[in-house]
Amino acid sequence: MAPQPNLQQNDRFRIHGGARLVGEVHVGGAKNSVLKLMAAALLAEGKSTIANVPAIADVEIMSDLLRRLGCTVIHEGSLLSIDVPKTPMHRADYDLVRKMRASINVLGPLVARIGRAEVALPGGDAIGSRGLDFHIKGLESLGALAHVEHGYVIAEAPNGLTGADIALDFPSVGATENLMTAAVLAQGVTTIENAAREPDLVDLGEFLISMGAKIEGLGSPVITITGVKELRPAHHVTVTDRIIAGTWAFAAAMTQGDITIHGARADHMEVMLEKLASAGAIITSTSDGVRVKMEQRPTAVDVATLPYPGFATDLLPFIIAMNSIADGDSLVTENVFESRFMFVNELSRLGAQVHVDGHHASIHGITELSGAPVEATDIRAGAGLVLAALVADGVTTVDGAFHVDRGYPEFAEQLRALGADVTRE
């Protein structure tokens, strides 16, 4: 059996601030990659295996969703096997989909493989409107009939899909993934312009290639896919989670600590590491990762989030938390999800001086935050509040630990191993 993530809905973290985090952490596979790899396994009949799977709640939810579609999913340690039937079911129900945005990723594979998909409109994090119009329009360009009815996206292509030229208005990660996983089985050539370039998307593309797909341009803004008749099951090792690696890098910088992050891919974290270096961190490459050390109070840095290779929106809570105790004033601009700033209300309860105007946050750094009860509103906001609590005077409780469980395996245990005073209650 795989390590079971803790799913207690009313758990909270209790943090006594003040520790300097020092030591080593190991970062496993990326949530935002593994969930998409799991959905893509639907594209081939038979048993695909995925390694370096993190022990997070979302993997369990996606496993349940795939079982509901007729697959046999076995999880042993960090290895997952997914045995896909000849004809999977086509309906992803609301009760599972509402828990996790990535459920929408079964849409492309199901339409491509069996000509029909019904997927409940997803839930996931409360960080913005997160439309599906690019997914739907793109599938229509590939010849599917797609519409939203009674809370479900319904897409049909009884005679298969046909390659097309698709240009996205914004390099949406989810839309690029759904269209790429649909186009691999379409007849003819598809180009996706203004495609997302995230390492997670490249990871998915590489898995598809090992299943027999023909894809060029991964990691660039134009992806070209030549459809094939069928795909075969494959084995894939999930790419390292750059957001978790980034979380540890910020933890080191904020607590004036020294953390060696094994498994971190510096090449996937360039802009973020540059920002931390500007804040005063000393960053060195190690044989299998990155070491981040901070010997002084961080200096405030301005940041604007952007699609990859820009500064990731998922890291927004961490940069705001760091700037709130940094030396100086800063401006942080969110360009991807309009509601990520919900987190700021909670951070303010710890005394942070942040003023939000539209999609800009101006932050006046103070020397220390002050412990208080706060609540996580999404995965990254939850982790960001825990980091803020590490540099707060006294005790902070962070309600809604289950949000953090969705993305961070054994977060409290790992923090404790680095010297933090963190418990779960």
**Residue 337 binding ligand UD1, by CB under 6 A:** yes
Give the range of 19-27, 133-141, 256-264, 370-378 binding ligand UD1 by CB under 6 A. 133-141
64 is catalytic: no
Q: Which of residues 297-316 bind ligand UD1 (CB under 6 A)?
A: 313-314
For residue 46, the surrounding DSSP H or E stretch is strand 46-51
**Closest residue by beta carbon to ligand UD1:** 174
Query: Which range binds ligand UD1 by CB under 6 A, 79-87, 129-137, 268-276, 278-286?
Result: 129-137
Looking at this protein, which amino acid is placed at residue 167? A
SS3 state at 382 = helix
* Least distance from ligand UD1 to the Cβ atom of residue 238, Å: 13
Cα distance between residue 410 and residue 344, in whole Å: 25
How many residues touch ligand UD1 under the rule CB under 6 A: the total is 21
Q: Characterize 2-25 residue by residue with b for buried, 16 or more Cβ atoms within 10 angstroms of its Cβ, and e for exposed.
A: beebbeeeebbbbbbbebbbeeeb
Q: Does residue 188 belong to the site contacting ligand UD1 (CB under 6 A)?
A: no
Q: CB-based contacts of 257: which residues, under 8 Å, 6+ apart?
A: 20, 21, 22, 251, 293, 294, 418, 419
Please tell me which residue in 125, 203, 378, 405 is annotated as part of the active site. 125
Q: Which of 135, 242, 265, 291 binds ligand UD1 (CB under 6 A)?
A: 135
Nearest to 271 by CA among 244, 310, 328, 229: 310
Could you tell me the two tokens for 337? 């999800």
CB atoms within 10 A of CB 133: 11
- Using CB under 6 A as the binding rule, whether residue 329 contacts ligand UD1 is answered as no
List the 395-399 sheet strands across, edge first: 373-375, 395-399, 12-16, 421-424
Query: What is the nearest approach in angstroms of ligand UD1 to the Cβ of residue 176?
Result: 8
Q: Which candidate, 60, 58, 4, 54, places its Cα nearest to that of 26?
A: 54
Q: Which of 336, 404, 415, 418 binds ligand UD1 (CB under 6 A)?
A: 336
Using CB under 6 A, which of 77, 131, 151, 188 touches ligand UD1? 131
Cβ nearer to ligand UD1, comparing 336 with 361 = 336
User: Measured between alpha carbons, how far is 168 from 171 in angstroms, rounded to an integer?
Assistant: 6
Question: What is the Cα–Cα distance from 1 to 260, expressed in whole angstroms?
Answer: 29
Judged by CB under 6 A, the chain residues 251 through 290 that form the site for ligand UD1 are none
The verdict on 147 binding ligand UD1 (CB under 6 A) reads no
Query: Is residue 207 close enough to count as binding ligand UD1 by CB under 6 A?
Result: no
Task: Please tell me whether residue 377 binds ligand UD1 under the rule CB under 6 A.
Answer: no
Q: Read off the tokens for 288.
A: 């299998």
Report the nearest approach of ligand UD1 to the CB of residue 273 (Å).
Answer: 18
Residue 73 C-beta: closest distance to ligand UD1, Å: 19
Stretch that binds ligand UD1, among 75-83, 109-117, 172-180, 230-238 (CB under 6 A): 172-180
Question: Using CB under 6 A, which of the segments 132-140, 214-222, 253-261, 326-334 binds ligand UD1?
Answer: 132-140
Establish if 343 lies at the interface with ligand UD1 (CB under 6 A).
no
Token pair of 367 as six digits: 């020397």
Residue identified by tokens 């339409």 is: 111
The residue within the footprint of ligand UD1, chosen from 101, 113, 265, 406 (CB under 6 A), is 101
**DSSP state, residue 327:** B
Q: How many CB atoms lie within 10 A of CB 425?
A: 10
Asked if residue 129 binds ligand UD1 (CB under 6 A), the reply is yes
Question: Which residues of this protein are in contact with ligand UD1, per CB under 6 A?
Answer: 32, 101-102, 128-135, 170, 172-175, 198, 313-314, 336-337
